[in-house]
Chain A
């Protein structure tokens, strides 16, 4: 079976700045992979390449087996994305935003209505469907973003610092919700974060630093006897 996401030897430069250098990683079907790195490690750049906001300088990206450069329609249709910054229209209601997103995937109105009801129930926002996004709390807004990302039934969810700016309780709720949705929907997830508390020992973990993958394996294996924080600091040399 093909992987949900395959990134092979991807590099990207902004002028003379090497943002990513030969990044390779695989997210298996139905798996949760955490992408850990400090701010500026290249996580958002990598997400921008996977979502084809711009093309990578070299290497290849395959989503559910589809090459992003050669088969962008098939590849993008299988991606659900939760961006680091708000991507929903604050002046529209949750339902209107979801309907808009469904239309961007060619989903007709009748089917979109059913899917909107289903995903809102999954993320616990049925009551908020008619509220404007600007009226939602931070945690609710992130849950709405997750609902938006799920509406076209993607194979993989990309979540870029999805808990940034949330309080501890909301952060835990969003993370738990994501893990539950992965289990329920059989979707894979690439979870970018700089918060180590969000990573569990049995998670698949990729450590990205200065645009390079330093380690890829299970979180428990990478943490070893040092513990994840210490292992991360040692690997990246951030503490030095």
Chain B
């Protein structure tokens, strides 16, 4: 290699290499794909079917008419797939760090922000494949947004996937041991999912508790859900877009800081990777 910085082709090579590895790992772990798909389908087929009679929904934007509960809950389940995928990436980062496999990545001469961003983007690609597979199955369950909605939702899925993946990256830098990951499930994933607009509209929350409504309203996951929901019908929820972009910048910045050899936790703890 020359003494100059890498040429553009080398950056692309590095990104594709990281993406290929993530894809290979995903393909090798067929159970992971199945689990990622079964989880939202169970919610759609069983939970939503049971609750459609209990939860009445008035007309709520972006819907212009009454919709089935299954239709309402689908964007939330898309975001749930991405949330779990982000946490799965985080889990694999912690695992890689414990086994030492992450050292291979971190001793690469490319800057760490680029390595982390590549890993993040690769994870998002995997999550989007999962979401579209889910949406294809949901279509047979009468969840049929406009055809162009499937294309319009792609940018929203990219952004929400990046935000949730960046959050996973940040968490992986803060979690010291694999055993601590159960805590993430209890204190991050479940509260984020349930305290959001994924399963019920926010106005319903306000009827029960104003405080709970306010918590749901500031939850970044709510905005990921709403961004997807509006995009599926060709609309943009500008507030959600701003929140998702802001949280993406915040989480990714925090992750880069934490993985920095001179700054974050790694600089202070023995063992490192």
Q: Which residues of B contact A48 (CB under 8 A)?
A: 272-273
Partner of B21, one of A73, A87, A100: A100
**Considering the chains assembled together, what is the distance between the CA atoms of A148 and B105 in angstroms?**
12
List the one stretch of A104-112, A194-202, A206-214 in contact with chain B.
A104-112
CA distance A124 to B11 in the complex (A): 31
Q: What is the minimal beta-carbon distance from A206 to any residue of chain B, in angstroms?
A: 21
Q: In the docked arrangement, what's the CA distance between A52 and B16, Å?
A: 24
Does B25 reach chain A (CB closer than 8 Å)? yes
CB-CB nearest in chain A for B5: A73
Q: Is A54 a contact of B262 with CB atoms below 8 Å?
A: yes
Contact (A100, B20) CB under 8 Å given A92-B28, A106-B11, A108-B13: yes
B14:A103 contact, CB within 8 angstroms: yes
Chain B residues with CB under 8 Å of A53's CB are 103, 106-107, 261, 266, 272-273
A55 touches B262 (CB 8 A): yes
Contact A106 B10, CB 8 Å, known A74-B3, A76-B107, A89-B25: yes
Contacts of A75 in B (CB 8 A): 109
Question: In angstroms, how far is the closest chain B Cβ from the Cβ of A22?
Answer: 19
What is the CB-to-nearest-CB distance from B89 to chain A, in angstroms, rounded to a whole number? 14
Q: B103 contacts A89, CB within 8 Å?
A: no
Of B9, B108, B272, the residue contacting A104 (CB under 8 A) is B108
Interface presence of A138 (CB below 8 A)? no
Q: Is the pair B266, A104 in contact by a Cβ cutoff of 8 Å?
A: no
The segment from A28-36, A78-86, A231-239 found at the interface with B is A78-86
A26 at the B interface (CB under 8 A): no
B101 CB contact (under 8 Å) in A87, A104, A105 = A87
Q: How many A-B residue pairs have CB under 8 A?
A: 117
- Which A residue sits closest to B104, measured CB to CB? A87
Whether A89 contacts B21 by the Cβ 8 Å rule is yes
Q: Judge whether A147 is part of the interface by a CB distance below 8 angstroms.
A: no
Q: How far apart are B97's CB and chain A's nearest CB, in angstroms?
A: 10
Interface size of A by Cβ–Cβ distance < 8 Å? 42
A89 touches B101 (CB 8 A): yes
B191 at interface by CB-CB < 8 Å: no
Residue A91 lies at the interface, judged by CB distance under 8 Å to chain B: yes
User: Which of B9, B103, B105, B115 touches A83 (beta carbons < 8 Å)?
Assistant: B103
> Which residues of chain B from 109 to 142 have any CB-CB distance to chain A below 8 Å in the complex?
109-111, 115
Q: Are A54 and B272 in contact (CB under 8 A)?
A: yes
Q: Which residues of A contact B262 (CB under 8 A)?
A: 54-55
Looking across the interface, which residue of chain A has its beta carbon closest to that of B17? A103
Chain A residues packing against B (C-beta within 8 Å): 14-15, 17, 19, 45, 48, 51-55, 72-77, 79, 81, 83-89, 91-92, 96, 99-109, 148, 152
A14-B270, A77-B109 known; 16 new pairs, CB 8 Å cut-off, are: A14-B268, A51-B103, A52-B261, A54-B272, A55-B262, A72-B109, A77-B1, A81-B103, A81-B107, A86-B100, A92-B24, A99-B20, A100-B17, A100-B20, A102-B17, A104-B14
Nearest 9 A-B pairs (CB), nearest first?
A103-B17, A106-B10, A85-B100, A104-B108, A76-B109, A77-B109, A53-B272, A55-B262, A54-B261
